[in-house]
Amino acid sequence: MRLAPLALLLLIAAAPPSRPLAVDLPNDEGLLPERYGVSADAANGNCLGCHSAAMITAQPRLSRVQWAETIAKMRTVYGAPIDPADDAAILAWLLAD
């Protein structure tokens, strides 16, 4: 019975080394664009620290109240350092169509 643990150790030692896990990160697609004349500066400065531009632009249309609640949630629940002075500009960009 003592051979079983020894055989297991030999099997592990003889196994080829494992390769590190490969992770494909998204390409840096840049900044959010201006939308219909509305600057994206506040959204770029406050949102891209956690979200990609592609993720932000893929969001469904929400109302002003829903976006305001989302911004508040990012700040209070997730601790996002969103400057409250930028809320109006972020909302304007999110709602621009």
Residues 6+ apart with CB under 8 A from 37: 96
Q: What is the pLDDT of residue 89?
A: 98
Q: What is the pLDDT along the chain (97 residues), one digit of tens a residue?
A: 556 666 666 666 676 666 676 655 555 568 999 999 999 999 999 999 999 999 999 999 999 999 999 999 999 999 999 999 999 999 999 999 8
- Could you tell me the domains of the chain? 29-95 (1.10.760.10)
**Distance (Å, rounded) from C-alpha 89 to C-alpha 44?**
11
Q: What is the pLDDT of residue 47?
A: 95
Tell me, yes or no, if the pTM score tops 0.75.
no
Burial class (CB in 10 A: 0-12, 13-18, 19+), 86: middle
